[in-house]
């Protein structure tokens, strides 16, 4: 149950085959392992030892997967970082993690260089796509000889990855994920989803735990992966046609882009049977629109970084319940509890807590926060949910996103589902802003569909037709686009400030 075993077991079981496609480049699984072994030797020669942190700040490319496998072989810890972060964010992660090496590309190098200023010790900077110079080393120049061996002193309980959260409420926290956490979650996800051998799409950022797990599942199932440096609708549709893709994983923003693309019917996507959706809530209206347009099922699931990440998912052969995130995957237990940690009856809303081999041992150098979310072996997710009699879980909202208006608890997702079903609405996010009289007031931030003439009064009236008056927003703020992080999750902290400034002004 170590990450390096994923690739080694893959080769032992399936033999050599084309594993990775990227633009015009193809790598077999054996070639990937050889590069990883050589790069691991190179890291050791740079002085990297067991437990050292290596930061990987790259757009999706073959070198990300090579680096991940190499870092684990060297006994070091992967620190995956979204390449589009601001230099200040990169600086915090480099400082907090104590990274000794940073692997990046010329596209990001300027920001990386800015981020390293002021660090106690400058890490070794390795660049995948430019020659070595006096400041940086070339990725392939670092590689050691194939016949060199790297000592295998890693255990399943050792930390494999430190994954920094998005930091929407302050500095990001470094989630510790062990080899066992990640291996068991990928293995149980593959079993739960009955993942078949074939070619999938790597459209999710490999720096995000969702994308990392998709690649791990691909090793386990003997699959191949088409890696994209960024999400491009035309390239994705062309890849589905070329590689006869049956399934892949995405986030709702990607599913929306596919549904909205006017030339989608020009591509042969008849091979597509299903798409997994996670990382953010999937509007029911969007689920139905995708299934109607592409004739493929959408299996929504739920997870979080601290659970490595998959907790629940819909399962092939079982009923799809729109609005639900499915049932717990094998090896994962869930409970819904009240504020006193007492389990609530089925159908009632409480906080979702999780237990299993996938759950983080804590946060890097943050004992206080670790003790807050980990209690008696359970991970307290901060997500409000309910569970039906057939074990299907429904995420109601983030606990911190709950709006308390005049003493009543209001859940934004209820209103978002209504607004997203309106013919003139492309997408919507509902937040609470301070209000002297009611404590909080509900505001809906809405992106109109092209050519739509919908007004604030019309949308408020529409909500009141489907919800009680106290559950409807008092204000509608129209926006060109909703702010998102690198994996497509709506940044509600940013929205609260923007909406408050507009409404109060």
Same domain? For 284 and 136 the reply is no
Whether residue 7 lies inside any domain: the answer is no
CATH at residue 312? 3.40.50.12780
**Nearest Cα residue to 428 out of 408, 440, 414:** 414
Whether residue 58 lies inside any domain: the answer is yes
| End residue of a domain, out of 398, 426, 449 | 398
Same domain? For 54 and 132 the reply is yes
SS3 of residue 281 by DSSP: coil
Whether residue 20 lies inside any domain: the answer is no
Whether residue 254 lies inside any domain: the answer is yes
The sign of the torsion formed by the CA atoms of 310, 384, 373, 115 equals: positive
Query: Quick check: 17 and 29 in contact, CB under 8 A?
Result: yes
* Count of Cβ atoms closer than 10 Å to residue 242 Cβ: 13
The Cα–Cα gap between 460 and 430 comes to 13
Would you mind telling me the total number of residues written for the chain in this entry?
Answer: 505
Same domain? For 378 and 326 the reply is yes
What are the structure tokens assigned to 286, written together?
């969007």
Whether residue 186 lies inside any domain: the answer is no
Q: Which residue has the tokens 């970082």?
A: 81
The Cα–Cα gap between 184 and 456 comes to 48
Same domain? For 309 and 337 the reply is yes
Same domain? For 407 and 394 the reply is no
Same domain? For 154 and 253 the reply is no
CATH at residue 430? 3.30.300.30
Partnered with residue 440 across adjacent β-strands are 434
Question: What is the gyration radius of the CA atoms in the chain, in angstroms?
Answer: 23
**How high is the pLDDT of residue 79?**
98
Whether residue 19 lies inside any domain: the answer is no
Same domain? For 39 and 117 the reply is yes
What are the structure tokens assigned to 368, written together?
């206080």
Same domain? For 388 and 437 the reply is no
SS3 of residue 176 by DSSP: strand
**How high is the pLDDT of residue 148?**
61
Query: Quick check: 203 and 254 in contact, CB under 8 A?
Result: yes
Helical segments of 272-375, H only: 284-294, 367-373
Same domain? For 282 and 243 the reply is yes
CATH at residue 57? 3.40.50.980
**What angle is formed at CA 187 by the lines to CA 236 and CA 204, rounded to 5 degrees?**
25
Whether residue 302 lies inside any domain: the answer is yes
Query: Quick check: 15 and 27 in contact, CB under 8 A?
Result: no
**Number of domains comprising the chain:** 3
Domain, as residue range, for 42: 25-179
In terms of Cβ atoms closer than 10 Å to its own Cβ (0-12, 13-18, 19+), residue 146 is exposed
Whether residue 34 lies inside any domain: the answer is yes
* Count of Cβ atoms closer than 10 Å to residue 468 Cβ: 9
| End residue of a domain, out of 136, 155, 179 | 179
Same domain? For 327 and 410 the reply is no
Query: Quick check: 76 and 3 in contact, CB under 8 A?
Result: no
The Cα–Cα gap between 127 and 141 comes to 10
The Cα–Cα gap between 268 and 238 comes to 8
**How high is the pLDDT of residue 437?**
80
Mean pLDDT by 10-residue block, N- to C-terminus, for the chain (505 residues)?
Answer: 95 98 97 96 95 98 98 97 92 97 97 97 97 96 75 91 76 95 97 92 95 97 97 97 97 93 97 94 93 97 96 95 96 97 96 98 96 97 96 91 85 92 95 87 95 94 90 94 88 89 78
* Count of Cβ atoms closer than 10 Å to residue 406 Cβ: 12
| End residue of a domain, out of 372, 398, 424 | 398
Query: Quick check: 309 and 321 in contact, CB under 8 A?
Result: no
pTM for the full predicted model: 0.89
**How high is the pLDDT of residue 196?**
87
**How high is the pLDDT of residue 146?**
61
Same domain? For 38 and 167 the reply is yes
Same domain? For 90 and 235 the reply is no
The Cα–Cα gap between 83 and 81 comes to 6
């Amino acid at each position: 149950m170590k990450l390096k075993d994923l690739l080694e077991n893959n080769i032992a079981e399936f033999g050599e085959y084309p594993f990775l496609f990227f633009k015009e480049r193809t790598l077999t699984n054996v070639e990937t392992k050889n590069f990883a072994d050589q790069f691991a030797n190179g890291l050791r020669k740079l002085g990297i030892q067991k437990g050292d942190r290596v930061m990987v700040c790259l757009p999706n490319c073959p070198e990300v997967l090579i680096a991940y496998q190499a870092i684990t072989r060297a006994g070091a810890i992967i620190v995956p970082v979204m390449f589009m972060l601001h230099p200040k964010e990169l600086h915090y992660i480099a400082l907090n993690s104590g990274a000794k090496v940073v692997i990046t590309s010329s596209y990001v190098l300027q920001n990386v260089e800015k981020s390293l200023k002021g660090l106690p010790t400058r890490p070794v900077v390795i660049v995948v796509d430019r020659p070595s110079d006096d400041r940086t080393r070339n990725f392939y120049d670092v590689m050691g000889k194939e016949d060199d061996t790297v000592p295998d002193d890693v255990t399943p309980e050792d930390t494999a990855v430190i994954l920094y959260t998005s930091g929407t409420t302050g500095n990001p926290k470094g989630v510790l994920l062990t080899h066992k956490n990640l291996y068991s979650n990928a293995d149980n996800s593959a079993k739960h989803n009955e993942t078949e051998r074939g070619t999938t799409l790597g459209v999710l950022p490999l720096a995000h735990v969702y994308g990392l797990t998709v690649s791990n599942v691909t090793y386990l199932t003997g699959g191949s992966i088409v890696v994209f440096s960024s999400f491009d609708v035309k390239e994705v549709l062309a890849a589905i046609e070329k590689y006869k893709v049956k399934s892949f994983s995405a986030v709702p923003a990607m599913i929306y882009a596919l549904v909205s693309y006017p030339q989608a019917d020009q591509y042969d996507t008849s091979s597509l049977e299903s798409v997994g959706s996670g990382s953010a809530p999937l509007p029911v209206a969007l689920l139905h629109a995708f299934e109607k347009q592409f004739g493929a099922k959408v299996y929504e699931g739920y997870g979080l970084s601290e659970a490595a990440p998959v907790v629940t998912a819909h399962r092939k052969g079982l009923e799809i319940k729109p609005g639900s995130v499915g049932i717990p995957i094998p090896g994962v237990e869930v409970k819904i509890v009240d504020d006193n940690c007492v389990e609530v009856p089925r159908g009632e809303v409480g906080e979702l807590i999780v237990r299993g081999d996938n759950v983080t041992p804590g946060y890097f150098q943050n004992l206080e926060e670790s003790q807050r979310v980990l209690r008696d072996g359970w991970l307290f997710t901060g997500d409000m949910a309910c569970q039906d009699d057939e074990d299907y879980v429904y995420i109601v909202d983030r606990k911190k996103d709950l709006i308390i208006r005049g003493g009543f608890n209001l859940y934004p997702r209820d209103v978002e589902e209504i607004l997203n079903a309106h013919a003139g609405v492309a997408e919507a996010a509902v937040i609470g802003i301070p209000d002297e009289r009611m404590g909080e007031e509900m505001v809906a931030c809405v992106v109109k569909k092209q050519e739509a003439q919908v007004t604030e009064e019309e949308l408020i009236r529409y909500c009141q037709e489907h919800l009680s008056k106290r559950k409807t927003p008092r204000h509608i703020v129209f926006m060109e686009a909703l702010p998102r992080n690198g994996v497509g999750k709506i940044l509600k902290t940013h929205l609260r400030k923007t909406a408050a400034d507009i409404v109060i002004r």
